[in-house]
C-alpha cells in the first residue's frame, strides 16, 4: 500500500456508462477510497451498505467516499440501483486494475481489487490506510478515527 504522507495517484474512472470521476473532482474534501473485490458478493454488499448508512457521518467530517472495483460501469450501475447507494462505485475495468495497482491494492493472483481502505486529506495526501482480509468487512471505525484526526489538525 502507499505510504502514509504520500501523494495519492490521480485517476479517472467511470461510475456509470456516461459519468466519470477523478481524484481532482474531490479537491478540498477529505476522500475515502474503498477498494473491494466485487459487486454482488456478500461481504462487499455488507461493506458498501454500511458506508451508505454512514454517509452523513462522513459528510460531517468534510469527506466523500467512492468504492472501486474491477467490475464494469454497467455492473456498477445495476448494483448501485439494486442497493440504493448514494455514493459512486468506480470501474477500474480497463486497463484492468490499473488504479488498484497504483495504490498497491490489487490481487494479481485473483485478478481483483483487495479489500483496502484509504483516507486522503483535502490536499490528496494519504493520511490512513488499512488492508483487510478478503472475507472480513473492515467496518468504518478506522475511517472515522482517521477523518477526525485530520480535522483536529486544522
- Residue numbers annotated as active site: 44
Helix/strand/coil for 88: coil
Q: Are 3 and 126 in contact (CB under 8 A)?
A: yes
Amino acid at each position: 500500500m502507499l505510504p502514509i504522507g504520500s501523494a495519492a495517484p490521480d485517476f479517472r474512472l467511470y461510475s456509470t456508462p456516461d459519468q466519470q470521476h477523478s481524484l481532482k473532482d474531490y479537491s478540498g474534501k477529505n476522500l475515502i477510497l474503498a477498494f473491494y473485490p466485487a459487486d454482488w458478493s456478500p461481504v462487499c454488499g455488507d461493506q458498501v451498505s454500511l458506508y451508505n448508512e454512514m454517509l452523513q457521518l462522513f459528510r460531517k467530517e468534510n469527506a466523500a467516499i467512492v468504492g472501486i472495483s474491477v467490475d464494469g460501469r454497467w455492473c456498477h450501475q445495476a448494483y448501485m440501483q439494486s442497493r440504493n447507494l448514494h455514493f459512486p462505485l468506480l470501474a477500474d475495468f480497463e486497463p484492468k486494475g490499473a488504479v488498484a495497482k497504483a495504490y498497491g491494492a490489487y490481487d494479481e493472483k485473483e485478478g481483483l481489487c483487495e479489500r483496502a481502505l484509504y483516507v486522503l486529506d483535502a490536499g490528496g495526501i494519504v493520511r490512513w490506510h488499512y488492508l483487510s482480509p478478503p472475507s472480513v468487512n473492515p467496518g468504518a471505525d478506522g475511517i472515522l478515527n482517521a477523518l477526525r484526526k485530520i480535522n483536529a489538525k486544522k
